[in-house]
Amino acid sequence: MRICLLLSMTLLAGCATVQPWEKGHLAKPIMAFDPDPLTARQHKQIYTSKEAASGGQGVGTGGCGCN
Amino acid sequence: MLTLAWVPARAADTGVPAPALRLLDGQGRQHDLAGLRGKVVYLDFWASWCGPCRQSFPWMNQLQQRHAKDGLAVVAVNLDTEAKDAATFLARYPASFSVLYDAAGASAKAWGVKAMPSSYLIDRQGAIRSRHIGFRPSSAAELDAQIAALLQTP
């Protein structure tokens, strides 16, 4: 019972509502999935060619790293 | 669980009297929205990290310049948690209207701010006439017309 309560309290603490005006930290470039779109695209191109896989990343490659 | 943690703020809606707003400016002087009764107030909630806010500042400067004599007051409430972020923003985008500070965001909660920036148009009787979410330069003309019309009404 006590463990259950403790667990639920921990879970509750994890649920924080971020208000629109509290998004200052989230708006920082470092918080973005891809801070630099060009670099991200380049990484995907290299990744797909090195893994000999194509598609699924939105970047066209033939697996040879040539296109 | 989620509903327990989430306490909805009562939103300031159109047609209702504006909620109280008492905040300090950069010099530490207290300003009260109720003191602007008799004027049309364009109240804007902004933060330094908000992109459209950058675009809205030159427009709000123009608005203040053009309509101050007609009884318009532009009031911008800054919601940055760090005061220096707001100072950096204001150095790049100077404001010729009054800027108030609310780092705690209590006013944004009271006014039910849904997105940044949010602005409210308050008539001379102190009632909210319209609310705008976000800012696009393309919709500024529409806002201009709305404000001009409200300035005509006593």
Nearest Cα of chain B lies from the Cα of A55 at a distance, in angstroms, of: 33
Binding-site residues on chain B for chain A (CB distance < 8 A): 1-2, 4-6, 45, 47-50, 79-82, 85, 105, 108-109, 113-116, 118
ipTM for this model: 0.73
DSSP 8-state assignment for residue A11: H
Task: Give a three-class secondary structure readout of B18-83.
Answer: CCCCEEEECCCCEEEHHHHCCCEEEEEEECCCCHHHHHHHHHHHHHHHHHHHHCEEEEEEECCCCH
Q: How far is it, in rounded angstroms, from Cα B130 to Cα B40?
A: 12
pTM greater than 0.80? no
Nearest Cα of chain A lies from the Cα of B50 at a distance, in angstroms, of: 8
Give the pLDDT of chain B (154 residues) as one tens digit per residue.
343 334 333 457 778 899 999 999 999 999 999 999 999 999 999 999 999 999 999 999 999 999 999 999 999 999 999 999 999 999 999 999 999 999 999 999 999 999 999 999 999 999 999 999 999 999 899 999 999 999 998 8
Question: Angle at the Cα of B29 (from B27 to B32), degrees rounded to 5?
Answer: 135
With residue B144 as reference, give the H or E element that holds it: helix B140-152
Domains and CATH numbers, chain B: 35-152 (3.40.30.10)
- Determine if the peptide bond prior to B154 is cis (ω within 30°): no
- Chain B partners within 8 Å of A27 (Cβ): 49-50
* B99 and B76 Cβ atoms separated by less than 8 Å: yes
- CA B25 distance to own-chain centroid: 14
